C-alpha cells in the first residue's frame, strides 16, 4: 500500500516522496518525467474550457434534425386523435364487411398466370381408339435384358 501511495505522490509532484527520489530531485533541481513533457501543451495553444450547460434535450434533437417543431395547441392534438380513431374504425368496418370472394380472387391472381393451357388435338382421337396393348410384358422384357448385362 505504501508503494502505491509513493507512486501517486510522484505523479502528483508532491514533496516527501522518499529518500532515493528526493535525492534524485535535489540533483536535477526537480523531478520530471521526459514523457510527461512531451504531452504538455504550451500556454499559447491552450483553449479555455467553457462551462458545460445542459440545455433542453428536445432543443438539442431539434438542432440535430434541423426541423423546428411547432406547438399547435391542445385543440389540434385532440382533433388529430379523433380523426385517427375515426379512420381506424372505418378501416376495421371495411375489413369486416368487405367482399371476401374478391379477396380470394386477388389472392389467387398470380397463380392463374402460371397455369398451363390445355391444347386440343386436331385428329380428335379418343382413348378408346388407341391401341390396347399390355405394357407389363414389354417392361418386364426390358428389365430382364438390363439385369442380364
Q: What is the pLDDT averaged over residues 9-27? A: 60
**The pLDDT of residue 115:** 67
Residue 97, H or E segment: helix 74-97
Tell me what percent of the residues of the chain surpass a pLDDT of 90: 15
Check if the beta carbon of residue 9 is closer than 8 Å to that of residue 17. yes
Answer whether residue 148 shows pLDDT above 80: yes
Mean pLDDT, range 19-37, rounded to an integer: 62
- For residue range 75-112, what is the model confidence (pLDDT) as tens digits? 999 999 999 999 999 999 988 887 555 555 666 677 76
DSSP conformation class of 13:
T
Cα radius of gyration rounded to whole Å, the chain: 46
SS3 content of the chain, % helix, strand, coil (to 5): 60, 0, 40
Report which of residues 5 and 88 the model is more confident about. Answer: 88
Cβ pair 15, 21 in contact under 8 A? no
CA dihedral 10, 11, 14, 18 (to 10 degrees): -10
Q: Domain coordinates of the chain in residue numbers? A: 2-41
Q: Which three cell numbers stand for residue 71?
A: 406547438
Amino acid at each position: 500500500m505504501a508503494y502505491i501511495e509513493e507512486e501517486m505522490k510522484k505523479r502528483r509532484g508532491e514533496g516527501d516522496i522518499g529518500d532515493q527520489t528526493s535525492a534524485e530531485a535535489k540533483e536535477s533541481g526537480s523531478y520530471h518525467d521526459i514523457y510527461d513533457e512531451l504531452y504538455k501543451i504550451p500556454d499559447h495553444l491552450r483553449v479555455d474550457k467553457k462551462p458545460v450547460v445542459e440545455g433542453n434535450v428536445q432543443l438539442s434533437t431539434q438542432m440535430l434534425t434541423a426541423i423546428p417543431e411547432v406547438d399547435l395547441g391542445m385543440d389540434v392534438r385532440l382533433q388529430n386523435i379523433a380523426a385517427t380513431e375515426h379512420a381506424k374504425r372505418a378501416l376495421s368496418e371495411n375489413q369486416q364487411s368487405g367482399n371476401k370472394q374478391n379477396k380470394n380472387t386477388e389472392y389467387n391472381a398470380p397463380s392463374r398466370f402460371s397455369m398451363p393451357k390445355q391444347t386440343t388435338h386436331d385428329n380428335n382421337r379418343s382413348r378408346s381408339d388407341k391401341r390396347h396393348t399390355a405394357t407389363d410384358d414389354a417392361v418386364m422384357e426390358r428389365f430382364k435384358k438390363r439385369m442380364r448385362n
